[in-house]
Amino acid sequence: MILKRIVPNGTVSTTLSCEASQAFSNFQLNRLFKDFKVFDIDGDGSITEKEIKSVLMKVGDKSSLGDVKNVIKEVDTDGNGEIEFPEFVQLMYLLKTKKIKTSRFGNVVKKVTTIKREGGGVHSYTQEEKEGLVDFINNSLSGDQSVAHIIPIDPRGDDIFYEVRDGILFAKIIDKYFKGTINMRRIVQKPRLNKFELINNLNLVLQASKKLLIKLVNIGPEDILEKREHLILEGQGGRKKINLSNAPPEELLKSWFNYQLEKVGCDIRINNFTTDLKDSKALTFLLTAIDENNCDLSPLQEQDPMRRAELFLQMADKIGARKFINAKDIVKGNNRLMTAFLAQLFLANPSMDDSESKRLERELKLKLGKFRSRMKDITGQTNKLRSAINRLQDELDREKRERLELEKHLKNLQTDLIDQADPNIRGLLLAKLREKQKGGIVDVEKHIDDFLKSLRARFPDQPEYIKTVERTLKKLRSFLIKHPEYAEYIKEILEPENIIEFDVPWVDDRGKVHKEKGYFVQHSSSLGDYNGAIQFDPETDLGTLKALGLENAPSHPVSTLKIGGGKGGSTSDPKSKSGKEKKNFNESFMRELYKKIGKNFEISKKGKGTGKTELDQLYDMYQKLSAGKGNKWGSSIHPKATGSGIVHITDQALKANGQSLVNIKVALSGFNDESLNAADTLIEKGAIPITLSDETGFINVPNGITKEQIKKLKNLKEQGKPLREITRLDRTIKFIPNKKPFNSVKCDVAIACQDKDEISEQDAQILAQNECIAVTDCARDASSEEAIQVYGDKGVLYIPSKLATLGSTAISKLELEQNQSGQPWSEGIVDQKLKEIMQNAFEDCQQITKEYCDRPTDYDIGAEISGFKKIADQLIENKKKGIQKKLKKGVTWEGFQTPEDFINNLMEQLRKEFPFQTEYLESVEEFLNSILPLLRTNPEYSKVAQIMTRPQKIIEFEVPWKDARGRM
């Protein structure tokens, strides 16, 4: 039978089985729903593999990460790969009724939900501790008729956290054991209490607790009202016999315990309430000291620790002291329950007269004084050490500044002397100077190592970005050693200029509002506006986008284009959205991004999860926001630009090495615009494209794919159908499932357009054995580092993605030139201009490669050096012209070193002054971001920006008026 039940908070209507529904109270269901929401991070009503992993990482449990898929399968009764709330409740029901003994997901839930992070600390409780507290309350109030409808409380359930929320049970416990501590007449006792009455009761309880020196851990009335289990009264202590308010309760109990042991002539002394008490021996002596008439040492004759603990508890029961603990708690060494047991034993049976109390008080004060004295000495020594370290650091900083000034002075002096020397010997002097400066190699190496150490320390959670930086510096090392003056630009070029993070709200088809994370990373704007791709993928994170942006930035200068680098994206999953939802999301993404950076950027490439439709929707919203005055995007004047660029650069590389594309068999991977357009252009060049692939396999056409077949393939792709479907349309095409073309088919040239790490070291070995002469990477890092090494060793020509993917970027600039010329260009003219750009890029890369690389065909290294050098040269030129961030010494943006810092500070001030005026704050932020380029080159305008964004005067007044009855 299935029935409907509303979770108590009223937010979710859940379909539960009748058995599961009846097994839990409303309060318990509410608790279960809160536990469910801990895992359901995006609030969509289901728990995914990614969400479980994220929660486990947050609580520091990495041991369960590898088994998450199996954990989900165990609970996922409908087989959709996710856990919905009814499935969650059903599992908890089966565990509660012991119909199943254990569950891996149940263990994960228990581990996560009993570790709550609040106030910067970790609080937790065990089932034993909870049962001990419930048993104590049940025993203490069993005869009280006013709470007979509540007592006894089930110790196995969680009802205790609901029943104590009105403070009445706590008040009765305090009044029973400490008469007069709490005024019971002020405690409101009735069936239904309003919030003010609840808070009144809880405040009285907490005040009474403080009088008794009960240790409270960050507890207020709202914590008990909200049933925060782990924050309900933790620790004990008391003034009943000893007036020592500054002594920690644990120290008081230890001193009392040891005093009682000494009194009965026992040699045992305890230092803790766990290992020292596990054998029950000291506990047995303690009871004998407290009540020698009813207690003896007979439990010590028992050899089994568990049985001995039980005998001890039976003896404690005789004097009414068996509270909080059981035999298992003693043997296990539960510190909290043992502390609670000893505290109530001490308060009920101190077994000391006044003189003994005073003696114990003196001993504790002496211990406390020694401890404070020791802490004072340690603090003094620490302060002295810190001062010494600061002085040493100041001296080192001063020496470093002096050394740098001296080196700069000597370098300028040497340069001036060489410039004034006889032209006939100037070359010799320069050579000698460079030879002497070889010692500078160590400085460059150290500079690189220090930068990488800093990067790893600052971004430990961004391994892909760190790996990309390491790979980039490895390629730049030979150039930087020859030109150490460029080393100072490493940080400025390899780290993003700006990182923009924002929320993207969007509405689904049911009218429900969702929020997803959006990013835009900006690199190297010294050459021009930011230009790059956008990707929408659930696996998107900041580290990945920074890596992609870094790869993007130096590739643009290689083509001689004046363009900066950029990469944006979101955690959105387009596959899970309808067409309308995609449009809603795309438009919202552009609105939020435009608020942050204005119109000075461009998206010319498709990224993961974005195709023509997504780019068109983003572009339409961009033009709407910029009132039609924004940059032109895309490749509308040459739809095949990306594919044509790949083929042009491959052709250039082959010709430079005495080869040609004519009659060459080319294996392509990928089933996307790049691979299809490249195949089309290859046919026009006289080459023979023989393969295309997707994640399920590849097609093989040994005699060459035809233009007609490419049309069919493009139609198939536009319909969203997999590659294997082409065999239904054309029986001459063979589809090979679950294999890759590069290790299955012989080819002369391989062009990888499908995915990262597509060609492994083994694949590269097979290509070389099959006499492949060239490999072109179109997808980022399609060839692994080991594969690239194989190419170099085996003489296979390698064209990196930095060169191969320039076509899409170049075409957007050509479109701008066409618009400025006022004349439409034919596709042939555009293709010729594109070919010239790709040719210039290759020739520049080739020249750099010959100058700085071990092999004249190391185009991968050459492209990296070429891009880096062009950006660095532009930065140097900007400095000369006074366009750098610090235009000249002493010039700042109202006291800040960068315009970004100035804007952030101004916005922070405005948010503090006008915290509830969100529309005003959003408008100011949008305005400041739109004038950011102006502020970069004109710091003096920052004062104007301050005046413009802040109201000069705000006038508020009351308007009296009369209604129809004449009332004011």
Q: Choosing from 546, 567, 577, 606, which is the catalytic residue?
A: 567
In angstroms, rounded to a whole number, what is the distance separating the alpha carbons of residues 518 and 592?
Answer: 9
User: Both tokens of residue 434?
Assistant: 């460079």
Q: What are the residues whose beta carbons fall under 8 Å from the beta carbon of 814, sequence distance 6 or more?
A: 637, 638, 825, 830, 833, 834, 837
Task: Confirm if 119 and 218 have CB atoms less than 8 A apart.
Answer: yes
The CA-atom distances, in angstroms, between 287 and each of 30, 76, 321, 340, 510 are 44, 53, 10, 16, 68
- The angle formed by the CA atoms of residues 850, 854 and 856, to the nearest 5 degrees, is 35
**pLDDT score, position 650:** 92
R_g over Cα of the chain? 38
Tell me: pLDDT of 280 over 90.
no
Tell me: pLDDT of 155 over 90.
no
Tell me: pLDDT of 22 over 60.
yes
Pairing of strands 774-777, 121-124: unpaired
Q: How many CB atoms lie within 10 A of CB 337?
A: 24
Entry field: residues in the chain: 968
**pLDDT score, position 5:** 38
The CA-atom distances, in angstroms, between 533 and each of 566, 610, 943 are 7, 9, 35
Q: Which residue has the higher pLDDT, 930 or 353?
A: 930
The CA-atom distances, in angstroms, between 953 and each of 810, 903, 910, 947, 956 are 50, 22, 15, 12, 10
Mean pLDDT of the chain: 76
Q: What are the residues whose beta carbons fall under 8 Å from the beta carbon of 826, sequence distance 6 or more?
A: none
Tell me: pLDDT of 239 over 50.
no
pTM above 0.75, yes or no: no
Q: How many CB atoms lie within 10 A of CB 464?
A: 17
Tell me: pLDDT of 750 over 70.
yes
Closest C-alpha to 241, from 171, 368, 343 = 343
Is position 567 annotated as part of the catalytic site? yes
User: Both tokens of residue 12?
Assistant: 């979710």
| Residue range 667-678: mean pLDDT, rounded | 90
In this structure, of 197-206, 299-308, 890-899, the range with the lowest mean pLDDT score is 890-899
- The angle formed by the CA atoms of residues 912, 917 and 923, to the nearest 5 degrees, is 100
Query: For the purposes of burial, counting CB atoms within 10 Å of the CB of 761, is it exposed (0-12), middle (13-18) or buried (19 or more)?
Result: middle
Tell me: pLDDT of 454 over 70.
yes
Tell me: pLDDT of 877 over 70.
yes
User: Both tokens of residue 33?
Assistant: 């729903």
Instruction: Give 233's pLDDT tier (boundaries 50, 70, 90).
Output: very low
User: Both tokens of residue 650?
Assistant: 């491959």
Query: For the purposes of burial, counting CB atoms within 10 Å of the CB of 654, is it exposed (0-12), middle (13-18) or buried (19 or more)?
Result: buried
| Residue range 846-852: mean pLDDT, rounded | 86
Tell me: pLDDT of 354 over 80.
no
Tell me: pLDDT of 636 over 60.
no
Instruction: Give 291's pLDDT tier (boundaries 50, 70, 90).
Output: confident
User: Both tokens of residue 118?
Assistant: 């609040």
Query: For the purposes of burial, counting CB atoms within 10 Å of the CB of 663, is it exposed (0-12), middle (13-18) or buried (19 or more)?
Result: exposed
| Residue range 426-453: mean pLDDT, rounded | 63
**pLDDT score, position 808:** 72
In angstroms, rounded to a whole number, what is the distance separating the alpha carbons of residues 460 and 924?
Answer: 34
Task: Confirm if 772 and 750 have CB atoms less than 8 A apart.
Answer: yes
Instruction: Give 2's pLDDT tier (boundaries 50, 70, 90).
Output: very low
In angstroms, rounded to a whole number, what is the distance separating the alpha carbons of residues 20 and 548?
Answer: 49
What percentage of the chain carries pLDDT values higher than 90? 10
